[in-house]
Amino acid sequence: MNSRLPASLTLSFTGFSQRGGCTDHHADGWGIAFFESDGQKPGKAARYFVDKESAATSPIAQMLRTYPIKSHNVVAHVRKATVGQVSLENCHPFVRELWGRYWVFAHNGDLKDFQPTLHGAFKPVGDTDSELAFCWLLQELNKSHFGVPSVEELTHTLRELVPRIARHGTFNFLLSNGQALWAHASTKLHYVVRQHPFTQVQLKDEDVNVDLAELNGPEDRLAIVVTEPLTTNENWVAMEPGEFKVFVDGAPLID
């Protein structure tokens, strides 16, 4: 999720977490990271939880389905293990510091023969191809910029770096530093922008109807990016293979 104003993640996480072992087979761990707001501004630090239990049964996930968290940027993931064992260190999203703020990353897919040389501060803790890709991306971003870059500068550099990983396989990912949410689709990603006038939505994975007008004001706007749509009655946009987008203030930036 990327939002103009601090927004609740309860509705989307309620449906999303059911895909971790209940309505889908991604039961090999899960995680969520959200940037806590400093007033009305996106924060630099992320609060995050990971668990090797399935999201559908995890007590931590149950707590988050009811906990009143509000954030500008949220990255959540349910895992189906392909590379790396089922363990806490292999649960997404992964978190690292760069330029004095946290970065979070989650990946869906498989990378073959991706063996980059890593040096400096970015080293994987686990043994997934996903964390390796994240460490390499941050390493190369750090090499490409000598000061703190703007979102536009970061987007330009990422557009150059991402194809060098994506040629090794399926590289659907979400990346955030609290200022923006970057998304790349190798095979499948969908997004929706929710804004005034808000309507009722029906969750796909839970028998729940919610009137978004009761939860949001006229100034609210948020973008949700997922592999498969979370609701049955919204206009989700399918990203094209190879498409790369950045979301700021609850909407995709126009190239």
How do the domains of the chain map onto residue ranges? 2-252
d(CA 35, CA 219): 20
The DSSP 8-state label assigned to residue 236 in this structure reads P
pLDDT at 210: 81
State the pTM of this model. Answer: 0.88
Share of the chain above pLDDT 70, in %: 84
Give the largest CA-CA distance in the chain: 51
CATH code given to domain 2-252: 3.60.20.10
Residue 84 gets the label, from left (phi > 0), alpha (psi -120 to 50) or beta, of: left
**What is the strand order of the sheet 101-108 is part of?**
94-98, 101-108, 172-176, 181-185, 243-248, 251-252
d(CA 109, CA 83): 9
Low-confidence ranges of the chain (pLDDT < 50): 19-26
pLDDT digits (tens, 9 = 90+) for 44-80: 999 898 887 776 777 777 777 677 678 899 998 886 6
pLDDT at 166: 98
pLDDT at 39: 61
